[in-house]
Homo-oligomer: A and B are copies of this chain.
Amino acid sequence: MSGGGAPIYNRVALIGLGLIASSMYWAMKRGGVAGHVTGYARSEETRETARRIGLCDTVCDSAEDAVAGADLVVLAVPVGAMGTVAEAIAPHLAPGATVTDVGSVKKEVIAAVGPHIPEGVHFVPGHPLAGTEHSGPESGFSTLFDNRWCLIVPVAGSDPDAVARLTGFWQALGALTDEMDAEHHDLVLAVTSHTPHLIAYTMVGVADDLRRVTDSEVIKYSAAGFRDFTRIAASDPTMWRDVFLTNKEATLEILGRFTEELFALQRAIRKGDGEHLHAYFTRTRAIRRGIIEAGQDTDAPDFGRVKMDR
């Protein structure tokens, strides 16, 4: 996290003002990372909210106005809308500017956005792996990216200086950074994010559907494990629809492996094979330890509460 240094970009345009963009704004202000920050959201209600809470130095009524003169343009809209937005702003981009995005899928975004980027403008896709189950302009906070990874996914011909500058920008927002190619990014995310979200949505849907167990029972007794699924399954529906539609291949591959493993465990249950179950459940503990050691979670027992003194 930088402190009082010179801004990394003089003028940053945030296109889309949801959880990620609003957190970027507060993190930029915290670290003095950007000079002037403009923002644009398609919905007038969102723009009004942004003006009311002081989100962005200037809230513009069009994406074209927001990007004018910006040396960094951040596309922070659902993945399915990236191409359209890129097309609209393309003629208004300043020479030498960098365009990045924060989409959860990279191959499709690169295919949708890349062709619209004019000569002399740098395109450096990115993906901050941070979020909460909340969405909208009021959900952002300055510390969202602290100690979280931001993956930078340069495309063929990405200018090394533009990549380095964007990398420094994310680090100044508090993030750790890594580079990865788009294909691998989409597979890793299918494992660590996309498939888990789909499974959580499915489990919550099953509970909602089951007539023999009432909604109030599901809600009252959720602390036994289900609650963590509902948190994940409360994420923004539009964002997630687009993720699954655009990371189809990798998600379907991981889902295939998931159902294969699930069927093996299901068979072990049916046959009463306790050894298989015990060995499987023991193995999965190791990954948890790794995550705690890597500082990506704490060892505090959660399930919704903090450990108290005895």
- Which A residues contact B (CB, under 8 angstroms)? 26, 80, 104, 129-134, 139-144, 148-149, 151, 178, 187-189, 191-210, 212-213, 215-235, 237-238, 240-242, 244-245, 248, 251-252, 254-255, 257-259, 261-262, 265-266, 269-270, 272, 274, 277-278, 280-291, 294, 296-298, 301-305, 307-310
Chain B residues with CB below 8 A from A261, complex form: 202, 205-206, 209
Q: List 20 A-B contacts (CB under 8 A).
A: A132-B302, A133-B301, A141-B308, A188-B218, A188-B221, A189-B221, A191-B210, A192-B207, A196-B226, A199-B199, A199-B262, A201-B280, A202-B258, A208-B283, A216-B290, A228-B232, A230-B291, A233-B284, A233-B287, A252-B270
- Nearest-neighbour CB distance to chain B for A228, whole angstroms, equals 5
Chain B residues with CB below 8 A from A141, complex form: 307-310
CA distance A238 to B130 in the complex (A): 33
Chief secondary structure at chain A's binding surface: helix
CA distance A143 to B203 in the complex (A): 29
Which residue on B lies nearest to A133, using beta carbons? B301
Which residue on B lies nearest to A269, using beta carbons? B244
7 additional A-B residue pairs with CB within 8 Å, beyond A133-B301, A245-B277: A151-B221, A187-B212, A188-B218, A191-B218, A198-B269, A222-B291, A222-B296
Of B178, B208, B232, B308, which contacts A143 at CB under 8 A? B308
- Inter-chain contact A204/B287, CB cutoff 8 Å: yes
- Nearest-neighbour CB distance to chain B for A142, whole angstroms, equals 6
- Inter-chain contact B233/A281, CB cutoff 8 Å: yes
